[in-house]
Amino acid sequence: MLELEQVCLQRAGKRLLWQVSLQAVPGELCVILGPNGAGKSTLLQVMSGYLRPDSGRVRLGGQDTAGLSPARLASLRAVVEQQAATPSGWRVQELVAAGAYLAAPAQQAAAMARALALTDTSRLAQRRLDSLSGGEAQRAHLARALCQLLASTQPERYLLLDEATAALDFAIADSQMAQWRQLAQDLHIGVVAVLHDLNLALRHADRVLLLQDGCSIAFGRTADIMQQARLEAIYGIRLAELISPDAGIRAFVPHTPR
C-alpha cells in the first residue's frame, strides 16, 4: 500500500499541505482532484519522495520513504512529470532505456521491450523525441516510467502521474486513462494520477482524493466522493450533472449563466 499519514508541508511560511492522508493500493487507479493551487502536484512530489514532509509519514509498501535512498525509491515508484523534458537528438528507445539505468543489466532489455509493447510505442522506438506529437511524447514518457517499474524486482510498485493528460485532446486523454487503469490491473501496480478533468476521473478512477487549499476534503470510492454539492463547494461554481442512462455515463458541467 502507498500510504500518506497526516502529511503537512510548509514552504516560505506558506502552508502547502495540511494533515493529508491517503491510501492507494496496487491494481487501482487513484485520482487526486482539486482547483489550481490546491497542492495536488506538491502532494505527488511528497509521495515520490522528492519533497520531504515537515511532519507525517509516507510509506511505500510498508517502508517509510524518509529512510530510503533515491535508488531504493526508484525501485518502488516511477513518476511521469508534468512537463517532461524532450532532450534534442534523443530517440524514444533511449528515453525508455533511461528508465532502467539503475536496474540489473539482465532485466534492462526485457523491461524495455515490455514497456514499449504495453504502451503501444514499439513502432515509435526509433523516432526522435522532438519529432513526436504531444500524445506520442506522453506515451514515450509513460513507457520510460513503466520500464523503471518493470525492471524492479519489488513486489509492490507505484506509478505516479502529474497532470499527464494536460496536453492531450479529450479522445486521447480518455484512452490514456483507460490504459492506466488497465495497466494497474494487469501489472498489479498502484497508479496515482493528478488530474484537472472531473469527468475523466468520474469515468476511470477507482478512488478519488479531493484537495482544497492543501487540505484533504474527502477520500474514497469515486461514486461516493464525487457528489455535486461537494464539488460545487470546492470549485466555487454551480454544476449541472448530466446523466446518460442507457450508456451509464455521468458528467459534470458548469451551470452558470453565459
Give CA–CA dist 65/47, Å, rounded.
8
Binding other proteins (rule: CB under 8 A), the pick from 4, 33, 84, 225 is 84
Q: Can you say how many angstroms the Cα of residue 142 is from the centroid of all Cα atoms in its chain?
A: 10
Nearer to other proteins, 95 or 234 (CB): 95
CB of 161 to other proteins, least distance (A): 12
CA contacts within 13 A on the Cβ side of 138: 20
Under the binding rule (CB under 8 A), the answer on residue 88 touching other proteins is: yes
Under the binding rule (CB under 8 A), the answer on residue 66 touching other proteins is: no
Under the binding rule (CB under 8 A), the answer on residue 127 touching other proteins is: no
Under the binding rule (CB under 8 A), the answer on residue 94 touching other proteins is: yes
Nearer to other proteins, 128 or 250 (CB): 128
CA-closest candidate to residue 143, choices 186, 206, 97: 97
30 in Cβ contact with 193 (< 8 Å):
yes
The residues in 35-54 that bind other proteins, with binding defined as CB under 8 A, are 45, 48, 50
82 in Cβ contact with 71 (< 8 Å):
no
| CB neighbourhood size of 116 (10 A) | 23
Under the binding rule (CB under 8 A), the answer on residue 104 touching other proteins is: no
Nearer to other proteins, 138 or 212 (CB): 138
CA distances from 254 to 10, 77, 233, 237, 238 (A): 32, 36, 13, 7, 6
Under the binding rule (CB under 8 A), the answer on residue 93 touching other proteins is: no
**Binding footprint of other proteins on the chain (CB under 8 A):** 45, 48, 50, 69-75, 77-79, 81, 84-85, 87-90, 94-95, 98-99, 101-102, 128, 130-131, 148
